[in-house]
Amino acid sequence: MAMPANVKTSPDYPVPEKMKAWVLGDPGELTLTEKPVPAPKRAEVLVRIDAVAICATDLEIIYHGPPALIEGGAPYNKNFTPGHEYMGTIVALGPGVDEYAIGERVTVEIHAGCGQCKRCRQGMYTSCHNYGKNYGDVDKGHRANGFTTDGGFCEYQVNNINTLVHVDDAMSDEEATLVVTAGTAMYGLTELGGLVAGESVVVTGPGPIGLLGVAVAKALGAQPVILTGTRDNRLEMGKKLGADHVVNIRNEDPVEAVRRYVPGGVDYVVECSAAPNAVNEAAQMVNRGGKICLAAFPHEAPAVDIAHLVRNNIYIYGIRGEGKSATHRAEAFMRQKRFDATLIHTHSFDMDDLKEAIRYAKDRVEDAIKVVVKNKHAASQRAAAE
């Protein structure tokens, strides 16, 4: 067996010494190769990866680099395995771990953080001050799957127990990969104050986070929830996830439409579009004292009407990822069937066909939203264990 003596394993879940893993070469270049199966250390478990969703941030990392940071630099030609929205089954426990059991299904958050900096200690581990410092003589133990440490486009990965979220048996593997996306939307609404019951929310941009932002806002009791975007099929999906009104900004001015539905303006905007004028429009949509959460990052630096923000006491929050254990709250909503996140899962591929899966996600082939790759060996192992 590959695992050290202080790691607990079970004959029901045999752990091989080597695994298949995708690694990143030059920008855009992925190769299927073999790596040793990593061993969990203190406060870590080994997860057999059963399914991974592809995220727009994976595409950013694979083609452009940031926010990945490997050994202080770009992630290219460093034997790095990307992929961060994965779920699976625990197959080995590091020394001292009794919080989880072998055989338990989990989905994972991306950021473990370093656990020792000011922000980690506040629960803001997605804003860890030691981001990427996990090598050589700057080893602060920072971990972020598929960003600063190896991720999920492989068969096994180690995870800090702080990143694990238990998955209910009634939830499919594909649905479980969406917990972290719903968790990001939940984190945004948490930062806006969390108590949005009876208050009005606009979500701009019906990508995966925007669509699940609608779902989470509705589950939290917001009313009305208004979704803006450019594609009718996505807006229709937003209605199924709980939007009371949708606005196609190709057909009507979004600010006028929002102010028609909610005279005086809404309480909150969750900005998920990254459109150049999005902040200015959001500032026109909220009422005085309203709050805006920015969950998408534009590539350029847009001009913003600061005076309007100041005169109207408008708050703006940037959020990064899924902090403050928001994934646990998102998973609870999904377990209670408060919304059907699987509506945004459109395609599945075998892990061996990752390149084709990425093409679907990148080029939005057949209107792809969330594309999931699955580990076919996991299904047979699961059958054998039962």
Q: Which residues bind Zn ion (CB under 5 A)?
A: 55, 57, 113-114, 117, 120, 128, 130
Residue 84 C-beta: closest distance to Zn ion, Å: 6
- 245 DSSP β-pair partners: 226
Which residue type does 124 have? M
Q: Which helix (H) or strand (E) element contains residue 108?
A: strand 105-108
Tell me how far CA of residue 138 lies from CA of 110, 130, 183, in angstroms: 21, 9, 30
Which residue type does 74 have? A
Residue 308 C-beta: closest distance to Zn ion, Å: 32
Between 82 and 113, name the residue whose CB sits nearer to Zn ion.
Answer: 113
Cβ contact 193:327 at 8 Å: no
Residue 209 C-beta: closest distance to Zn ion, Å: 8
Distance CA 377, CA 145 (A): 22
Residue 117 C-beta: closest distance to Zn ion, Å: 3
Q: In 3-state terms, what secondary structure has residue 267? A: strand
**Please, what is the angle between helix 208-219 and helix 232-240, to 10°?**
30
Alpha-helical runs (H) found in 297-353: 306-311, 326-335
Between 127 and 228, name the residue whose CB sits nearer to Zn ion.
Answer: 127
Between 107 and 130, name the residue whose CB sits nearer to Zn ion.
Answer: 130
Residue 194 C-beta: closest distance to Zn ion, Å: 22
Between 182 and 201, name the residue whose CB sits nearer to Zn ion.
Answer: 182
Structure tokens belonging to residue 160:
């800090």
Between 212 and 235, name the residue whose CB sits nearer to Zn ion.
Answer: 212
Q: Which helix (H) or strand (E) element contains residue 63?
A: helix 56-63
Largest interatomic CA distance in the chain: 66
Residue 181 C-beta: closest distance to Zn ion, Å: 7
Between 182 and 257, name the residue whose CB sits nearer to Zn ion.
Answer: 182
